[in-house]
Structure 1
Amino acid sequence: MIKVEDLSFSFPQKELYNHISFTLEEGQHCAFIGTSGSGKSTLIDILMDVERYLFEGKLEIDPDCKIGLVSQFSQVDKTKEVTVFEYIAEKFIKIQDEITAIYAEMATTSDMEALMEKHQLASDAFDAMDGDNFESTINKQLNLANLMKIKDLNVSDLSGGEFKLIQVMKEMLQRPDLMIMDEPDVFLDFENLNSLKKLINSHKGMLLVITHNRYLLNHCFNKIIHLENTELQEFDGRYIDYNFSLLQTKIELQELTVAEAEEIERNESIVDNLREIATYNSEASRGRALKARVRFTERLEARRLKAPFVDIKQPDIRLDIDHEIESRFAINVRDYSVSFDELLLENVSFKIKPRDKVALIGPNGTGKTTLLRDIFHNNKESIDIKTDAKMAYLSQFQGEMLQDSNTILDEFIEAGFKTYEEIIAYLADYGFAGEILNQKIESLSGGEKNLLQLAKVSASHANILFLDEPTSHLDTYTQIALEKAIADYKGAIIMISHDFYSVVNGMDYVLIIEDKTVKKMSMEEFKQMIYDSHFDKGYLEAEKNKKAVEMKIELALKDTNFELAKRLADELEELIKLV
């Protein structure tokens, strides 16, 4: 068991945790969630290297506890000339070679006792990883993840998504007591995401996974740890049940808050009357009654209900445009081809209307980002963009659009804002305020950087947006806010995304890359394709019905119709059982 008790920690410019506590126990698969920049990755760093951080409180980890880590920043080593199988089996092979070397040394040594001890340690380590069966175990994992086809490929030839899955397998096969993964889903295509789900669900050990991916959250975890505004809460159960419990609490709290507000208003009215009486009646009893009522009102105000996890403020993302494109088509691609070491895309043709919202999807490494960049730069004869188009680009490689050495304020002065006051007012809607505005870009979390990119894109007032993995690293609240902004946008969007929810909730249709070309697919066809490949029967319909009821509950709460909200919550609970 891992036990954290009353942990507090701050950076010079930011408080991260205020007396937080949680436990992780054997067999738990725990999702670690919270808004971007709340300190999730830092908490993992503390767990991995306790001695490096000066914090208050207790952190109890058994000294023999073996922790495995899959980092969000891992990259393929292009110089590593080993096969996928050799890479996964690296530790097994190393211990095997060590044991073989010990046997060879035993033939000539006079110090047999020391070698026997060395042999025992190596054998124990090999047994702890189930070394006798490592070849068949690796084959089973590759087969589970549908990656047997890459077993004999060099690691340097893998896509980023394939390499991430290989890392997950490698760490799992070493049987750590606790395995930590920091956003392992980022940039995974639908097929690889489904493979990651299978790997997580097959793992027998304790897991702590930072993720904002709604597909994984709904399918992989039996415990939730939620970090928000320096506070933390635990929930034993599924993510969908956790969200339902938050909604129930929200209904209860809002009903109590309305009742308290009415009570406060009634007492303030009594206090006003007593004050008026006191102006012409100076009896001591009247003065005491007035003071008592004032104290009572102050106590009511002081205990107004606060719930930091129930109603988290979404950023106010607005995608406005200066003018609409007047032509029938905003973008026309004709017979586009591109190749690097090999042909990626050939004879690709499609047209996009001024208000089309299009998802560009396909497996990792099929040329999606290359196509998006080439359209944005409009540097090929096969690409025609109308002259009244104004374009903005969001890159999955955040360093392209944001300079690490800049502060947040510097970035937006360079983006054309005239005064610091104007920037401060603008960024407040995106959740950036106070000292964080003077922080360097390099110090921000991945989610904060992507949110800043969205803020820059929004400020451009462009009528064509090119969004390359815009939801990567974004917390679920910001993902939903972006979906709303896309729905209201009056221009054209081409978006690369592997997030199923963002595609189906915001896009009009899909351009899917297959066999080195691009094929148009309706949203219904796309849903059916994902439905057949990844979801249980009835999942999509149940999700749709669930979302409709949640919207009705939100409207009921706005009207302070708490009885209706409670009835709808009962209806929602029944729907959740079907998801």
Structure 2
Amino acid sequence: MGTIQIQNLSFRYDNQLTPLFDHVDLQFDASWHLGLIGRNGRGKTTLLNILRGKLEYHGHIVTDLNFQYYPQPIDDMTQNTWNVIRSITSLEEYDQWKILVEFSKLELPEDILERPFTTLSPGQQAKVLLASLFIDEGNFQLIDEPTNHLDIQGREVVAQYLQQKSGFIVISHDRVFLDRVIDHVLSIDRAKISLYKGNYSTWHREKYARDDFERLENEKLKDEISRLSKTAREKSVWSGFRESMKNSAKDSGFVSHKAAKMMKRSKVIEARSNKAITEKEKLLKNLDEVTELTMNYEPLAPKQILVSVDDVQVKRNGVVINQPVSFTIKTGERVALNGMNGAGKTTLLHALFHDRTVTASGKLELQPQLKISYLAQDLSDLHGTLDDYAATQAVGYDELVNVLRKLGFERDIFESNIENMSMGQIRKIALAASLLKPANLYIWDEPLNYLDVLTREQLEDLIIEYKPTMLFIEHDQAFVEHVATQQVNLIKQN
């Protein structure tokens, strides 16, 4: 199938002090199922945009492949689905059977071809775009976050679909999904980019073993840097002292000549020491240190019922969405709402907050005066500066920045407006605010969308340590299994 060679690649955005990529050399085979892994803001999507010629860069990319990107831009989403597919592929009217073959593999009904694309669920839209991506032969697929908005069953279907395909590059933060679909990993770390053979679990084991080794090496490096810094300071002081002696009236020609030779030698040693310090400090930068998070959780009395849902059905625009559901949430319990796309999970959360567009039958009660920290799924309205956002959320700016640093933010990003950040960075900002607010109950709607793997593990560790009371929706199977104390399944009304 060919190869992709990246030679001496350098790139940075105009608002960045340090480059995302600095003289990068890589080569990978086009038959690989390659997963891109790295913290938010490290340049995963940027690399895909560079490959498909959307960004200017320094260096060379050598390949004869034609790149196709997911998700494809749609000019008119009000068209029926078949016309949308034709607008982003080379299919003709008589080629409809080809897309129907892909539909069957993705468990999509044939009749959605005649429906307006906007009426499809986000999960159905994602599957349609994936099917369209693989229709045209001879293309190499660049797949950016295909699992967002897919329920657990949908992710399984898409994983099986991608397993059958030839080479591609995929960005995803779902660990179970990555284990199913990739056979190589491209890991974008703080100071270098590394290739690994194997799936996510293989990379994870090797990464943690490597990180443990690098921590030991870092301690040695810090000792060496300290020693070299001391040597450089001593030579600098000595050189300065001899220079002053040379210019003094007491100095003799012999002393000046000898001092000049020693001063030259000391400056060489100082320069070598400074160069060694710089090189060793670069090595220190590559280790991704994951700092423990905290949350402003205020637990109520043990076993106190905070949420009671009894035989509840939610309606939007008069339409019943789910079959009756019942559950309670007591202090310290963490309830995961499961169900297929369209089963009413988010709508049920909105009903708890008395959203006027939602009505509910049955009994739906919250403990009075409950302090709730809510993290919404839709963050499209976030904009402006971090300082302004902190003020609107009634949290301290310094505290917000401190949490974001723990979540992997580099310092130069704090000067950017929120709307100019990546989706993962925006999600982290909303998450940080949620953690800072005092709360008896956390209600999170798909909190992990766009979040990198290390952040997901940070959140798991945090929740396991604090044991907060939670009601959440999440399709990351590993996260749900690690943190939920109870799982409630919503069933879509027929």
User: TM-score if structure 2 supplies the norm length?
Assistant: 0.80
Structure 1 CA distance for aligned equivalents of residues 180 and 401 of structure 2 = 39
Partner residue in 1 for 2:312: 336
Alignment match of 1:443 (pick from 420, 428, 439)? 420
Structure 2 CA distance for aligned equivalents of residues 267 and 40 of structure 1 = 36
Residue 415 (str. 1) matches residue 396 (str. 2): no
Alignment match of 2:378 (pick from 379, 397, 404)? 397
Shift in Å at residue 213 of structure 1? 1.2
Alignment match of 1:21 (pick from 25, 41, 44)? 25
Residues 90 and 136 in structure 2, CA contact (< 8 A), matched pair in contact too: no
Residues 8 and 55 in structure 1, CA contact (< 8 A), matched pair in contact too: yes
Structure 1 segment 507-546 matched on structure 2, within 5 A: 507-516=484-493
Shift in Å at residue 450 of structure 1? 1.0
Structure 2 CA distance for aligned equivalents of residues 17 and 267 of structure 1 = 29
Residues 361 and 496 in structure 1, CA contact (< 8 A), matched pair in contact too: yes
Partner residue in 2 for 1:158: 120
Structure 1 CA distance for aligned equivalents of residues 284 and 207 of structure 2 = 11
Structure 2 CA distance for aligned equivalents of residues 485 and 361 of structure 1 = 22
Partner residue in 1 for 2:44: 40
Residues 76 and 158 in structure 1, CA contact (< 8 A), matched pair in contact too: no
Structure 2 CA distance for aligned equivalents of residues 38 and 412 of structure 1 = 24
Structure 2 CA distance for aligned equivalents of residues 423 and 164 of structure 1 = 33
Residues 4 and 30 in structure 2, CA contact (< 8 A), matched pair in contact too: no
Q: SS at the partner of 2:123?
A: helix
Residue 241 (str. 1) matches residue 202 (str. 2): yes
Structure 1 CA distance for aligned equivalents of residues 466 and 448 of structure 2 = 17
Amino acid at match of 1:314: V
Shift in Å at residue 40 of structure 1? 1.5
Partner residue in 2 for 1:80: 79
Residues 76 and 155 in structure 1, CA contact (< 8 A), matched pair in contact too: no
Amino acid at match of 1:220: V
Partner residue in 2 for 1:384: 365
State the superposition RMSD in angstroms. Answer: 3.8
Shift in Å at residue 427 of structure 1? 3.8
Structure 2 CA distance for aligned equivalents of residues 25 and 44 of structure 1 = 15
Amino acid at match of 1:70: Y
Amino acid at match of 2:26: F
Structure 1 segment 157-556 matched on structure 2, within 5 A: 157-204=119-166, 206-229=167-190, 231-257=192-218, 304=280, 311-314=287-290, 316-324=292-300, 328-340=304-316, 342-377=319-354, 382-399=363-380, 403-404=382-383, 406-417=384-395, 420-432=397-409, 434-516=411-493
Amino acid at match of 2:408: G
Residues 191 and 282 in structure 2, CA contact (< 8 A), matched pair in contact too: no
Specify whether residues 480 and 54 from structure 1 end up closer, same or farther in structure 2 by C-alpha distance, changes over 3 A only: same
Amino acid at match of 1:391: I
Structure 2 CA distance for aligned equivalents of residues 220 and 13 of structure 1 = 35
Q: SS at the partner of 1:161?
A: helix
Residues 378 and 385 in structure 1, CA contact (< 8 A), matched pair in contact too: no
Structure 1 CA distance for aligned equivalents of residues 47 and 338 of structure 2 = 34
Specify whether residues 310 and 378 from structure 1 end up closer, same or farther in structure 2 by C-alpha distance, changes over 3 A only: same
The Cα offsets for residues 338-363 of structure 1, whole Å up to 9 and x where unpaired, read as 22363212443322112210100100
Q: SS at the partner of 1:398?
A: coil
Shift in Å at residue 138 of structure 1? 3.7
The Cα offsets for residues 400-457 of structure 1, whole Å up to 9 and x where unpaired, read as xx522x1122111222245x55554454333335332221111111111111111110
Specify whether residues 76 and 191 from structure 1 end up closer, same or farther in structure 2 by C-alpha distance, changes over 3 A only: farther
Partner residue in 1 for 2:67: 67
Q: SS at the partner of 1:403?
A: coil
Structure 1 CA distance for aligned equivalents of residues 410 and 30 of structure 2 = 40
Structure 2 CA distance for aligned equivalents of residues 312 and 494 of structure 1 = 30
Residues 407 and 441 in structure 1, CA contact (< 8 A), matched pair in contact too: yes
Residues 316 and 430 in structure 1, CA contact (< 8 A), matched pair in contact too: no
Amino acid at match of 1:183: E
Residues 409 and 438 in structure 1, CA contact (< 8 A), matched pair in contact too: no
The Cα offsets for residues 231-252 of structure 1, whole Å up to 9 and x where unpaired, read as 3222233332223332343344
Residues 317 and 455 in structure 1, CA contact (< 8 A), matched pair in contact too: no
Q: SS at the partner of 1:503?
A: helix
Shift in Å at residue 145 of structure 1? 2.3
Specify whether residues 488 and 90 from structure 1 end up closer, same or farther in structure 2 by C-alpha distance, changes over 3 A only: same
Residues 362 and 512 in structure 1, CA contact (< 8 A), matched pair in contact too: yes
Amino acid at match of 1:463: N
Specify whether residues 140 and 95 from structure 1 end up closer, same or farther in structure 2 by C-alpha distance, changes over 3 A only: closer
Q: SS at the partner of 2:156?
A: helix
Specify whether residues 246 and 335 from structure 1 end up closer, same or farther in structure 2 by C-alpha distance, changes over 3 A only: closer
Residues 375 and 431 in structure 2, CA contact (< 8 A), matched pair in contact too: yes
Structure 2 CA distance for aligned equivalents of residues 175 and 451 of structure 1 = 38
Residues 81 and 112 in structure 2, CA contact (< 8 A), matched pair in contact too: no
Q: SS at the partner of 1:330?
A: strand
User: TM-score if structure 1 supplies the norm length?
Assistant: 0.69
Residues 162 and 192 in structure 1, CA contact (< 8 A), matched pair in contact too: no
Amino acid at match of 1:80: Q
Structure 1 CA distance for aligned equivalents of residues 74 and 87 of structure 2 = 17
Structure 2 CA distance for aligned equivalents of residues 193 and 75 of structure 1 = 26
Residues 331 and 469 in structure 2, CA contact (< 8 A), matched pair in contact too: yes
Q: SS at the partner of 2:155?
A: helix
Structure 2 CA distance for aligned equivalents of residues 198 and 309 of structure 1 = 38
Residues 191 and 285 in structure 2, CA contact (< 8 A), matched pair in contact too: no
Amino acid at match of 1:54: E
Residues 325 and 463 in structure 1, CA contact (< 8 A), matched pair in contact too: no
Specify whether residues 344 and 69 from structure 1 end up closer, same or farther in structure 2 by C-alpha distance, changes over 3 A only: same
Q: SS at the partner of 1:173?
A: coil
Shift in Å at residue 336 of structure 1? 2.4
Q: SS at the partner of 1:184?
A: coil
Residues 325 and 389 in structure 1, CA contact (< 8 A), matched pair in contact too: no
